[in-house]
Chain A
């Protein structure tokens, strides 16, 4: 089983839709969690860190479920500009090396 797994998609949604992605991780010692977005032929950019209590930033909400070992990203009121690949990143406790998922592709259409 891969350390970090994501559904590659693509998720194809209309503008205004709500869409959610999950990311599962295999190592229960994982302690830090992040969502990055990566546009085509661009570098990854930090979207948000994921905290144990869950956190929200505008239209984006991230949740952590330690019992089931997954994190989620919810995007409300999707915009065309949200079209990108969303990368899940997990770092084990005691390790400084994060593990990146392969990403989930989102396409928002008019």
Chain B
């Protein structure tokens, strides 16, 4: 079946511009996560959505970052007034639910590589 998809795969933008990154989770998965990974670094948690509950935004690095999840499916991560330090790969993952394994096993999309000039 279809996996997690993300678009665009690559995005080059100028400092100060806003960008929107999209994630389509696996159909039926209620949990959705956004992470970012800088070159040679580990995964940094950004935000978590579970069903219709309020998202856990505890990982967002600044108020320039926001995310929405419409209809419990597609999610959009928005970065306003981009800075060079925002350059990274932004990864989306979904899982069936939030319980123990295998329900909380995460499946990742291919990521969006963001470059801020």
Known A32-B100, A32-B104, A97-B48; judge A42-B110 contact (CB<8 A).
yes
Checking B102, B104, B108 against A43 with a beta-carbon cut-off of 8 angstroms, the contacting residue is: B108
Which residues of the partner chain B approach A102 to less than 8 Å between Cβ atoms? 41-42
Which residue in chain B gives the minimum CB-CB distance to A89? B106
* Contact assessment for B50 and A31 in the assembled complex, using a CB-CB cutoff below 8 Å: no
Question: A interface, by DSSP: helix, strand, loop or mixed?
Answer: strand
* Contact assessment for A51 and B101 in the assembled complex, using a CB-CB cutoff below 8 Å: yes
Which residues of the partner chain B approach A42 to less than 8 Å between Cβ atoms? 110
A47 to B107, CA, bound (A): 11
Interface size class of B (residues with CB under 8 A): 20 to 34
Which residues of the partner chain A approach B110 to less than 8 Å between Cβ atoms? 42-43
* Cβ-based interface call for A45 (8 A): yes
Name the interface residues of B34-76: CB closer than 8 Å to any CB of A: 35, 41-43, 45, 48, 50, 56, 58-59
Interface residues in chain B, defined as those with a beta carbon under 8 Å from any beta carbon in chain A? 31, 33, 35, 41-43, 45, 48, 50, 56, 58-59, 91, 98, 100-102, 104-111
Known contacts A44-B108, A97-B45, A100-B43; 6 further A-B pairs (Cβ under 8 A): A34-B106, A44-B91, A46-B107, A96-B50, A96-B98, A97-B33
